[in-house]
Amino acid sequence: MTDHLAKAVARRRTFAIISHPDAGKTTLTEKLLLFGGAIQLAGEVKAKKDRMQTRSDWMKIERDRGISVVTSVMTFEYGDHVFNLLDTPGHEDFADDTYRTLTAVDAAIMVIDAAKGIEPRTLKLFEVCRLRDIPIVTFVNKLDRESRDPFEILDEVEEKLALDTAPMTWPIGRGRTFAGTYHLADNAVRRMDSEEEVTKVNGPEADSAAGLLPENDREAFIEETSLAMEACRPFDLEAFREGHLTPVYFGSALRNYGVRDLINALGKYAPQPRAQKAGARMVKATDPKMTAFVFKIQANMDPNHRDRIAFVRVCSGRLQRGMKARLSRTGKMLGLSAPQFFFAHQRQLADDAYAGDVVGIPNHGTLRIGDTLTEGEDIVFEGVPNFAPEILRRVRLEDAMKAKKLKEALQQMAEEGVVQLFSPEDGSPAIVGVIGALQLDVLKERLRAEYGLPVTFEAARFNVCRWISADSDADVEKFVNAKRGDIARDLDGDAVFLASDGFSLNYEAERWPAIRFAHVKEYH
Ligand code: G4P
């Protein structure tokens, strides 16, 4: 391990922001990028979001519905660190995209609206983070508005998420009286009007703490902070890194407040790029040979190029422009001639990337979600999941002559992760599967706009889909032969069992005890 590599790895922090729509993720992203110097003016992320939404027709869907479908990555430097922020779509219909993105981060910021507490989408996303023990820093946002009692919010996090909390700061006032935060461990105050400075004080009673509040509120503030200092759990780095405890910061993304605390916390406490499991081997971030995996494919980043970008997370070594990498799925070598970094509003050729970095690799369909790249070693990273679709449909073409074109288009969409595609063993037309109905809208619009294929969807007789496996291949074969009409193959050729409902699935599961029916498939 070279010193240079170890230093590069130690500087990196790769994270995502999880929240319920409207809690303030876009605003916070913008402020983080602003601190990182990645953008000059607040408002650019939103402006960019608007611009992107006009870029191609299918994105019209998200504009019309006011949602963000696009996942992207933003890299910025702040202090001694390089931050890679992976953005995730807010809408639950694109949940599988979000889950896959969360496999590529080492930490997350959870944004909670101070008036609303834990909302359903936050809970769901938190559960995904928990599956991977991703450490979470909590940001309680919108303190400049009427908010709930901070103790109540902490209790709710503990109860609903079964996650210990350690308040790091405490709000001085709330709503109209919000004047700053009190740093509990070091008795210091960050004032609303001077975000730059943290000033040591003698205690919450000090003029520069309680004194910032109207007289009527001072007593309550002193009581609250004293109680928080005495009764709340202190921050414990190990518990945080293991995903059992979250440090909590209060602030207002809109008013640019508390954001610096957050970014400092990520730099100071969040882990550097973690070791990743590849079969029996743990690949350390500082291992000298380059390894990486694809967690997302995005088409039409630039309509002038009709290119496809595979987003890869580097797991070890150094990814260099011009190097050749081995694609584990095929064993073939692939030239990385133009890997790219993404900033707030530009991409740039990436000459070098290290563990934790996310680079985009332009390609024409060679790379798929879940693919592993190495310098020659034959390993496959675990952990980019595929969830069984909740909605299954047959695609109906208006022009039957274009069946071959449709097949190709669906294959491409499936490789991008827009939909899942299943080819029935009995030769009947392919079935597409999605997690949320909006994904069907995106599919329909893209088939029309990009391939000139107007389609409609028809209910299939199946509503449930499970990947099947068994200890012995003979058992799988026996089941497949017996159930041929209900078996289909996914993109990788793996067999799924299709059932009309949960009842028939359970019925078959009881009759075929040797067969495992999985609703999550890890790419391998
Ligand atoms: P999201 O990405 O999580 O969906 O949330 P976003 O940042 O878009 O914020 C949702 C709304 O909440 C926006 O208002 C935003 O201005 C507001 N907001 C975010 N952070 C704060 C905060 O700290 N304090 C207050 N008071 N408001 C905050 P909007 O009216 O929906 O949109 P806009 O048109 O004003 O941007």
- Ligand 1 centroid–CA 51 distance in Å is 18
CB-CB contact of 383 with 522 (8 Å): yes
C-alpha of 159 from chain center: 24
**Which residue, among 214, 253, 261, has the nearest Cα to 43 in the 3D structure?**
253
Q: So what's the ipTM on this one?
A: 0.97
**Whole-angstrom distance, CA of residue 325 vs CA of residue 372:** 9
Pocket mutation for ligand 1, best pick of 22, 49, 111, 116 (most atoms within 8 Å of C-beta): 22
Please indicate whether residue 98, judged by its CB atom, sits closer than 6 Å to ligand 1: no
Average pLDDT rounded to a whole number, residues 59-67: 45
Q: What is the mean pLDDT of the chain?
A: 88
Closest atom, ligand 1, to C-alpha of 19:
3
Select from 254, 255, 256 the residue to mutate for testing ligand 1; criterion: most ligand atoms less than 8 Å from CB: 254
- Give the model's pLDDT for residue 68: 40
Q: What is the pLDDT of residue 32?
A: 87
Rg of the chain over all Cα atoms, to the nearest angstrom: 25
What is the mean pLDDT of the segment spanning 134-149? 97
Residue 258 C-alpha to ligand 1 middle, in angstroms? 15
Range 193-217 average pLDDT: 87
Residues contacting 398, CB < 8 A, separation 6+: 454, 455, 456
Q: Which pLDDT tens digit goes with each residue over 440-494?
A: 998 998 899 888 999 999 999 999 999 999 999 999 999 999 999 999 999 989 9
The answer to whether residue 69 scores a pLDDT higher than 80 is no
The pLDDT of residue 432 is 96
Bridge partners for 8 per DSSP: none
Task: Say how many Å lie between the CA of residue 139 and the centre of ligand 1.
Answer: 14
Is residue 174 predicted with pLDDT exceeding 70?
A: yes
φ and ψ of 431, to 5 deg: -115, 135
Residue 130 has pLDDT above 80, yes or no: yes
Per-residue pLDDT reduced to its tens digit, 468-480: 999 999 999 999 9
**pTM, to two decimals:** 0.85
Please tell me the distance from the alpha carbon of residue 280 to that of residue 511, in angstroms, as a whole number.
Answer: 33
CB 101 within 8 A of CB 2: no
In SS3 terms, 78-131 reads as: ECCEEEEEECCCCCHHHHHHHHHHHCCCCEEEEEEECCCECCHHHHHHHHHHHH
Answer yes or no: is pLDDT of 48 > 70. no
- Please give the Cα distance from 130 to 134 (Å, whole number): 6
Helix (H, G, I), strand (E, B) or coil at 155: helix
Ligand 1 pocket, residue 252 CB under 6 Å: yes
Measured over the CA atoms of residue 64, residue 65, residue 69 and residue 72, the dihedral's sign is positive
| Residue 63, pLDDT score | 47
**Looking up tokens 């107007």, which residue turns up?**
454
Would you state the pLDDT for residue 58?
A: 41
Q: What is the pLDDT of residues 259-276, one digit of tens each?
A: 989 999 999 999 999 999
Q: How far is the CA of 23 from the centre of ligand 1 (A)?
A: 7
- Looking at the DSSP bridge assignments, the partners of residue 517 are 468
* DSSP H helical ranges for 385-516: 403-416, 437-451, 473-482, 502-511
Residue nearest atom 29 in ligand 1 by C-alpha distance: 22
Helix, strand, coil fractions of the chain, as percent rounded to 5: 30, 30, 40
Predicted pLDDT at 521: 84
Q: Which residues, 6 or more positions from 155, have their beta carbon under 8 angstroms from its beta carbon?
A: none
Distance between Cα 252 and ligand 1 center (Å):
10
Q: Which atom of ligand 1 is nearest to the CA of 27?
A: 7
Assess whether pLDDT exceeds 80 at residue 64.
no
Taking the centre of ligand 1 as the mean of its atom positions, its distance from the CA of residue 141, in whole angstroms, is 10
**Confidence class of residue 34 from pLDDT cuts 50, 70 and 90?**
confident
